[in-house]
Chains A and B, each alone.
Chain A
Amino acid sequence: MMGPDQFGQLVDRHAAALALYARQWCSAPEDVVQDAFLKLVRQAVPPIKVVPWLFKVVRNGAISMARSEKRRRRYETAAAEELPPWFESAEGTGLDGETVTAALQHLTPEEHETITLHLWGGLTFEEIAQVAECSSSTAHRWYAAGLESLRERLHVYVREQI
Chain B
Amino acid sequence: MSESKSDLERALQALTPAAPVLDRDRLMFLAGQAGRGPTLPWKVTSGIFAIASVVLAVLLVVRPAPEIQVVTVVVPAPVPKEFPLHKPKDSPSPEQIPVQEPYNRLPDLASYRLQQQIMRFGAESLPSLSDPGALPNEPPVTVDRIGKMSPTTTPMNLFPWQ
Do they bind each other? yes
Tell me the B residues contacting A by CB distance below 8 Å: 4-5, 8-9, 11-22, 24, 27-28, 30-32, 34-35
Question: Are B8 and A87 in touch, CB under 8 angstroms?
Answer: no
Structural contact, A16 and B18, CB atoms closer than 8 A: yes
Q: CB distance A93 to B11 under 8 Å?
A: yes
The docked-state distance in angstroms from the alpha carbon of A85 to that of B19 is 10
B20 touches A30 (CB 8 A): yes
In the complex, 11 of the A-B residue pairs with CB atoms within 8 angstroms, ordered by the A residue number, are: A7-B31, A19-B22, A38-B30, A86-B17, A86-B18, A88-B18, A94-B11, A95-B15, A119-B13, A120-B17, A150-B12
The A/B interface has a contact count, at CB < 8 Å, of 96
Q: Is the interface of B mostly helix, strand, loop or mixed?
A: helix
Contact B16 A88 (CB under 8 A): yes
Known: A8-B28, A41-B35, A90-B16. A15 touches B22 (CB 8 A): yes
Report the contact-size class of chain A (Cβ under 8 Å from the partner). 35 or more
> Which residue of chain A lies nearest to B27 when distances are taken between CB atoms in the complex?
A34
A120 CB contacts on chain B under 8 angstroms = 13, 15, 17
**Which residue in A11, A41, A85, A93 is a CB contact (below 8 Å) of B34?**
A41
Q: Do the beta carbons of B31 and A41 come within 8 Å of each other?
A: yes
Interface status of A129 (Cβ within 8 A of chain B): no
* A41–B31 CA distance with the chains assembled, in angstroms: 6
Q: Hey, which chain A residues are within 8 Å of B28, CB to CB?
A: 4, 7-8, 11
Is A63 on the interface with B (CB-CB < 8 A)? Answer: no
Chain B residues closer than 8 Å to A85, beta-carbon distance: 18
Chain A residues, Cβ within 8 Å of B8: 147, 150-151, 154
Using A11-B27, A154-B8 as known contacts, say yes or no to A29 and B20 having CB atoms under 8 A apart: yes
Is A1 an interface residue when CB atoms closer than 8 A count as contact? yes
Given A12, A38, A115, which contacts B31 in the complex, CB threshold below 8 Å? A38
Chain A residues 81-108 with CB under 8 Å of chain B are 84-88, 90, 92-95, 97, 100
The answer to the question of A20 belonging to the interface, with a C-beta cut-off of 8 Å to chain B, is yes
